[in-house]
Chain A
């Protein structure tokens, strides 16, 4: 069963802006799905419609088979939303915010308390439970929104740029948390500007641009579309010029840093073999840019 099924979804705002131009999307149960796109592409509009914060113009949305036109309340009880903008009361305490959210979903008080404690502990906020939300740090506020979205144990969790403005250490701990959540059965849809995040976490991906889905495939298949990848090599000893006499495209950045473009069909082993033949030793290597980022930029440019 699809956790989410979208057919020909359109949205035209009162201002006349057409934010969604007939998108179709399927997200299978248990998936960790990335929805990517540049600013203003329509990601947040799509998420807003799925979670009932925005009225659609036309189209069909089903959440675990439930048509939102027929029973949106039941569909909503299966969704948890972590929005892009902070949207909790600044004057309430951490536990009040999470407990009240459980109440809106009709969860009895005892279960609500137990879930609140569980998720606040898992997200490292239990010690802050009596603190006013406005006194939390930026990262804590983000985690509070995740705890709030999970308190009714949704089957589908939608995260709209959950790690925006969060430091690397915290971002990685949030990745671990989300991975565990997904492994336990929760379907997750993630939008993010950190493409590294999408590559690390998601199995499937859709790219949206100007209100249309321009790519919808598995992460693995998408990355095989990459025709060339640039690697940065740190050398053990300085060289005066980029090595010649191979099919590889070498560029010397400084006397101990070499860049190499590896095209589809070439292997990194061949690069090392060639450099060894030239008595050039490599001490370390890294990708110049995120692979998904390159693909993403290419796809958006092609679409425009």
Chain B
């Protein structure tokens, strides 16, 4: 009886200790990107405003409607999602690699923070930035067009899940990265092409069969379309399939990142 009580007290204190540790990592991440908001939040607002001006107003007015909406309305969800993907990924990859580079990741490694909380803390930071940037870009979009959100729940769920997925992706990139060049290779050569070819600016129904089928192998397509469904109520992909793909990818990458940390890949000799 006595040992059971001790165990329970120990587990309770562990839970409390872990909660504080998670809050510490998360609030540190939040403070980090908010402190440098001109480098982390503002650029997305400006870049996406340019997309709306050029692709939405100037070119879009000549394209006409797509999926039953004006072109600028059709691309708005994709542009917001593009900002979410870029920001959540870059937040974690730069922060975690910076911590490795300056060696202050050791502050966490020597402390009794479980690996799952290291992943959770950094990813929560990336998700927070993704959600804030999504809101800011949505506000920018409202300057150019009217948007009536079809489903707040689906919209928010897709933003959070997508930001989670790409935050974990950024973490994995940072774990493997040995120099600064290594953190820009994936965004440049993988992330950007996948995003641009993920149905941000067009419906895949416009593509020839071969390219349409090939596009289905692009996970970003499912996120953009699920988000578009949340905002406009239209999608090239079934909502269930889209959520399934996002959840499977997120779960897979989560367990992969956890196993990397547990084995000490990139952080322990």
The proximity string for A residues 76-110 relative to B, scoring 1 for CB distances below 8 Å and 0 otherwise, is 11010101011111100000010011011111110
Contact A105 B21 (CB under 8 A): yes
From A13, A53, A88, A108, give the contact of B109 (CB < 8 A): A53
**Contact for B269 among A54, A101, A107, CB less than 8 A:** A54
Q: Which of A51, A90, A104, A148 makes the CB contact (< 8 A) with B24? A: A104
Q: Which residues of B contact A (CB under 8 A)?
A: 13, 16-21, 23-25, 28, 99, 102-104, 106-114, 264, 268-269
Query: In the complex the two chains form, what is the Cα distance from A104 to B108 in whole Å?
Result: 6
Main secondary structure of the interface of A (DSSP, over half): loop
Q: Does A73 contact B (CB under 8 A)?
A: yes
Known contacts A87-B103, A105-B111; 6 additional CB pairs below 8 A are A53-B109, A55-B268, A89-B104, A100-B107, A106-B13, A109-B20
Evaluate contact between A54 and B268: CB separation under 8 angstroms.
yes
Task: Let me know if A52 is at the binding interface, CB within 8 A.
Answer: yes
Q: Which A residues between 8 and 44 are near B, CB-CB below 8 angstroms?
A: 13-14
A window 228-243: CB within 8 A of B: none
Q: Is the CB of B114 within 8 A of A73?
A: yes
Within 8 A of B (CB), among A112-130: none
* Residues from chain A with Cβ under 8 Å of B104 in the complex: 87-89
Q: Which residue of B lies closest to A104 (CB)?
A: B111
Q: In the assembled complex, how far is the CB of residue B45 from the closest CB belonging to chain A, in whole angstroms?
A: 24
Interface size class of A (residues with CB under 8 A): 20 to 34
When distances are taken between beta carbons in the complex, the residues of chain B under 8 Å from A97 are: 107
* A-B contacts, 29 listed (Cβ < 8 Å): A52-B110, A53-B110, A73-B112, A73-B113, A73-B114, A74-B112, A76-B110, A76-B111, A79-B110, A81-B110, A83-B106, A85-B103, A86-B103, A87-B103, A87-B106, A87-B107, A88-B102, A100-B107, A103-B20, A104-B24, A104-B25, A104-B108, A104-B111, A105-B111, A106-B16, A106-B18, A108-B20, A148-B107, A152-B111
Task: Tell which of A52, A86, A90 has the most Cβ of chain B within 10 Å.
Answer: A52
Q: Does A139 lie at the interface of the complex (its beta carbon under 8 Å from any beta carbon of B)? A: no
Report the bound CA distance from A52 to B25 in whole Å: 19
Interface residues of A (CB under 8 A from B): 13-14, 48, 51-55, 72-74, 76-77, 79, 81, 83, 85-90, 97, 100-101, 103-109, 148, 152
The listed residue (A85, A88, A90, A104) touching B113 by CB distance below 8 A is: A104
- Let me know if B269 and A13 touch, CB within 8 A: yes
Residues of B within 8 A of A109 (CB): 20
Q: Which of B13, B102, B107 contacts A101 (CB 8 A)?
A: B107
Let me know if A48 and B269 touch, CB within 8 A.
Answer: yes
Q: Which residues of A contact B112 (CB under 8 A)?
A: 72-74, 76-77, 104-106
Of all chain B residues, the one with the shortest Cβ separation from A74 is B112
Q: Which residues of B contact A106 (CB under 8 A)?
A: 13, 16-21, 112
Partner of B17, one of A48, A87, A105: A105
Distance between Cα atoms of A13 and B268 in the complex (Å): 11
With known contacts A73-B114, A87-B104, A103–B269 Cβ distance under 8 A: no
